Structure 1
Amino acid sequence: MRDSVQEILAAPPEIVGIELPPASVKLNLLPESWRRRRLQLARQAEWRKRLLWVGGAYLAVLLLLLAYLGLLRFQVGRLDRQIARDAPETAFVRAAETNWKALAPAIDPHFYPVEILLHLFESLPPGGEVRITAYNQSARQISVDGEANTAALAYEFFEKVKKNPELRIFQFDMAAPRILPNDHAQFRLEGRPR
């Protein structure tokens, strides 16, 4: 190849050194105010982009919230329609429940007057010194009036009634017995279901 170059140029070729380009120094010939303005515009564009992302996210959350509220409103309406549709059956069930609750004392053997009287007589102290003079029972209350030879016997009867396991379904109260002129004690027991 050297020979062909020598023939063309009619001079002997010399090895040429390859020069490196000058150092990469950017010549910035723009005025300083233009550079600041360009930087300011770049920052504004970046902030606009950020604000658009934040606004879009806010709008998306707002739309999701509105969709959720619409869904809730739809479900509430559906439940209201179901409640209105089931109202007659619900009223029937509530009326039946009220009737059964009213009948409960009459159906439950623990509330039978004969059973309660039997357990009261089982609680009487021996010797016939305590007598039951009146017995009243309603659906929610029992009252027993009686007379004992002494106030101590009236309290003894009260304690036996409270301890009787068959009468534990009631909570009994007794006021202080009234002492009669013949030194007998007149008492009144009142019991309410627990």
Structure 2
Amino acid sequence: MAKTRKPTHELLLPGAKVWQGWTGAGGALCQPNGEHGADGAVFGKDAQQRVLALPATHFWVLPAWLKGESEHLRSMALLHLERMGVKANDDAASVQVTSISSKEGAHLARILALKDQPVPLTDLTRLPDEVTLHALCYPLVQNSITIFRELDRLVVAITSGAQLIYCTPLSSARLDDNALAELNNICLQLSFQGVLGRLESLVLWIDEGDVSKIQRVTGLAAYRCDMPAPTMPQRGASRLMPEDITVERQRQGTRTRTRLFALSAGATLAAAITLVATLTSLALQERNMLREKVAGMSPRAAQVMDHKKAWQEAAPAVDPSTWPQQMLLHCMEPASSTEASITHWEWTPDRMSIIGRMPGASLALEYTQELATSEKLAHFTWEVPAPVFASDNSVTFEMKGGLPDEKE
């Protein structure tokens, strides 16, 4: 049976000399995952949750007694920072306020404010999901002072109970008399502010300093031990986020939306081109099919035209109403035709020509008039040239008939 893979969180934090990578589940101890350079680090590709622990030089970590209701702690903390001359934005990504304890309507609060410093990431392709203070990643000893190194800087962290209330880098490069004097000065100032409780011990996570001398100068029981492995912060434990990361995330979001828009536009254009190509292909196939059908029908169409022409030529001979004998019969129906001698007769479906002789001019005139007014030949328009008289008083007449639109 396959084992369910636990979600892997990646934690980048400042080690004593260089940046370190750690992995683990939320709220559990981490396992080392390699070292990075002293100038910055970069997140891996496979992490499901990325947490960046910044050194104390990136924060103001200040304790303060704030009077008022708990829902007003943030507003009071911002006023406290302003009185102390600390410049910080008032949004949740820049300032985080945590109540440590309360007494007589006042709250001992830890104010955590980001300084305006560049983020120590060598590659901004993969950004952190959360940002926290490095010292908050360790189980600090209760009511104690802990001294450790971050990227070669001495850092002091002070707890009230089990909660961190103060953290700052020391000016001294070594744990010498100057460093101890600076530490006593910090404790004195916190005591004047009333935020420093009863300290019980001083813990050294470094192999420096004379423990007996430290006990004599500070008056605290001092001891040395190895720096423990960090604990992976729970998801949502911090809402702090440097402005550099916020701006870069917005920039990446804009690039992603632009890329998605370009991909969508490209996909739409490709789909349109595919559709046009498909329609063009179908149209070409249809055209080729029609051409094949026309090519197959062309011989048959030619035969049909030949049959039509033949029928048109034969129509006058087979149509009882238009055949030549019938037309000649119509020309001989007038009573005066008995005296006529037809010497020339020509007929087609659209024209007729008659030349004949009459014994006299009156008979010729009568015949031409009767023929021109015949109902059966009414579709012809007639032309009657002047008759030609012979020496024996006989008359040669001529009549030309045609359809109205083809009249000669």
TM-score range, shorter chain: 0.5 to 0.7
CA separation of 1:177 and 1:60: change in aligned 2, threshold 3 A: same
Q: Could you tell me which of 377, 389, 393 is aligned with 1:167?
A: 377
Determine if the alignment matches structure 1 residue 180 to structure 2 residue 391: no
Structure 2 counterparts to residues 122-161 of structure 1, below 5 A: 122=333, 124=334, 127=336, 131=340, 133=342, 134-138=344-348, 141-146=351-356, 149=361, 153=366, 156-157=369-370, 159-161=372-374
Deviation at 1:136, TM superposition (A): 0.9
Deviation at 1:55, TM superposition (A): 3.0
Q: Could you tell me which of 60, 71, 82 is aligned with 2:271?
A: 60
The answer for the alignment partner of 1:93 in structure 2 is 304
AA at the equivalent of 1:160? T
SS at match of 1:178: coil
CA separation of 1:181 and 1:121: change in aligned 2, threshold 3 A: closer
Distance, in Å, in 1 between the alignment partners of 2:398 and 2:368 is 9
Residue by residue, what CA displacement relative to the aligned partner does 1:112-167 show, whole Å, maximum 9, x if unpaired?
22211222233x3x556984632112465322235673697577346414xx1x33
Unaligned runs of 5+ in 1: 1-16
- Superposition TM-score, scaled by structure 1 size: 0.59
Preserved contact between residue 316 and residue 324 of structure 2 (Cα < 8 Å): no
Preserved contact between residue 146 and residue 188 of structure 1 (Cα < 8 Å): no
Distance, in Å, in 2 between the alignment partners of 1:146 and 1:80 is 58
Deviation at 1:100, TM superposition (A): 1.9
Unaligned runs of 5+ in 2: 1-67, 76-89, 95-115, 117-242
The answer for the alignment partner of 1:20 in structure 2 is 71
Q: Which has the higher strand share?
A: 2
The answer for the alignment partner of 1:14 in structure 2 is none
Q: Could you tell me which of 291, 309, 327 is aligned with 1:80?
A: 291
CA separation of 1:39 and 1:110: change in aligned 2, threshold 3 A: same
AA at the equivalent of 2:70? E
Larger radius of gyration: 2
User: Matched residue pairs, number?
Assistant: 169
* Root mean square deviation, CA, Å: 4.3
Preserved contact between residue 356 and residue 398 of structure 2 (Cα < 8 Å): yes
Preserved contact between residue 135 and residue 145 of structure 1 (Cα < 8 Å): yes
CA separation of 1:18 and 1:185: change in aligned 2, threshold 3 A: farther
Preserved contact between residue 355 and residue 396 of structure 2 (Cα < 8 Å): no
Preserved contact between residue 353 and residue 400 of structure 2 (Cα < 8 Å): yes
AA at the equivalent of 2:285? F
Deviation at 1:87, TM superposition (A): 4.7
Distance, in Å, in 1 between the alignment partners of 2:251 and 2:297 is 68
CA separation of 1:191 and 1:132: change in aligned 2, threshold 3 A: farther
Preserved contact between residue 353 and residue 399 of structure 2 (Cα < 8 Å): yes
Preserved contact between residue 140 and residue 193 of structure 1 (Cα < 8 Å): no
Distance, in Å, in 2 between the alignment partners of 1:141 and 1:78 is 46
- Superposition TM-score, scaled by structure 2 size: 0.33
Distance, in Å, in 2 between the alignment partners of 1:129 and 1:104 is 30
Preserved contact between residue 177 and residue 185 of structure 1 (Cα < 8 Å): no
Distance, in Å, in 1 between the alignment partners of 2:339 and 2:252 is 108
Deviation at 1:49, TM superposition (A): 3.3
Deviation at 1:58, TM superposition (A): 2.4
Q: Which has the higher helix share?
A: 1
Distance, in Å, in 1 between the alignment partners of 2:301 and 2:311 is 15
CA separation of 1:65 and 1:181: change in aligned 2, threshold 3 A: same
Deviation at 1:107, TM superposition (A): 0.8
